[in-house]
Amino acid sequence: MFLRAYGTAGARGGLTLLLVACAAWASEITFELPDNAKQCFYEEIVQGTKCTLEFQVITGGHYDVDCRLEGPDGAVLYKEMKKQYDSFTFTASRNGTYKFCFSNEFSTFTHKTVYFDFQVGEDPPLFPSENRATALTQMESACVSIHEALKSVIDYQTHFRLREAQGRSRAEDLNTRVAYWSIGEAIILLVVSIGQIFLLKSFFSDKRTTTTRVAS
């Protein structure tokens, strides 16, 4: 599968396009989507081909992004706003270039890291004669079962890695907030302590002044 990518990412758009270009031949891509940015991908699909688009926001903000899928005629096949993750399966109704875009234009400060998997067509049979009329041999059936099981394992591993990356990002964000809060508390405690010292000194200073005046 060959993907073409175009985006409007502002000053950091070059980095995003570079990451996409390096992984343009892969069906799974992880890329950075800056704030106020939009990234689109294009794929040539033959009519009748079954396709699946799956995406998930790994890091950034509230872990949400806008996603839109359009057909060659501009018809909107899929549109979701501020989704953290989703999956959509469709069958191409005509030949042409299909476009799907991820938008972070609603975000002003935070950039996102987005993962998506775009599958076009079915996997080729494990054996050239798998679709034959006669039944498979016991060894061929075992190989097909193992092959399907390994594909499931790969999918589970991908989802677990995404969850681990998302959890690590949330933990780091929480750790940063706790650190800032601790520094703020330490500064407030220092200011209060210094204030109390000066306040106590002012009490004793007033007492000495009063005693001196009485004595005189």
> What one-character-per-residue DSSP string does the chain give?
---EEEEE-GGGHHHHHHHHHHTTT-SEEEEEE-TT-EEEEEEEE-TT-EEEEEEEEEESTTS-EEEEEE-TTS-EEEEEEEESEEEEEEE-SSSEEEEEEEE-TT-SS--EEEEEEEEESPPPPSSTTTTSSSPPPHHHHHHHHHHHHHHHHHHHHHHHHHHHHHHHHHHHHHHHHHHHHHHHHHHHHHHHHHHHHHHHHHHHHHHHHHHHHHH-
pTM: 0.64
Q: What are the domain boundaries of the chain? A: 25-122, 138-202
Using an 8 Å Cβ cutoff, are 81 and 73 in contact? no
Tokens 């005629």 locate to: 73
Range name among 34-48, 108-122, 161-175, 199-213 with the lowest pLDDT average: 199-213
Instruction: Report pLDDT digits (tens) over 50-59.
Output: 898 999 998 8
Mean pLDDT of all residues belonging to the chain = 79
Hey, what CATH topology would domain 25-122 get? Jelly Rolls (2.60.120)
- pLDDT given for residue 26 in this prediction: 39
- pLDDT given for residue 155 in this prediction: 80
The first and second tokens of residue 21, run together, are 């270009």
Instruction: Report pLDDT digits (tens) over 182-213.
Output: 999 999 999 998 988 888 887 776 555 555 55
Using an 8 Å Cβ cutoff, are 79 and 43 in contact? no
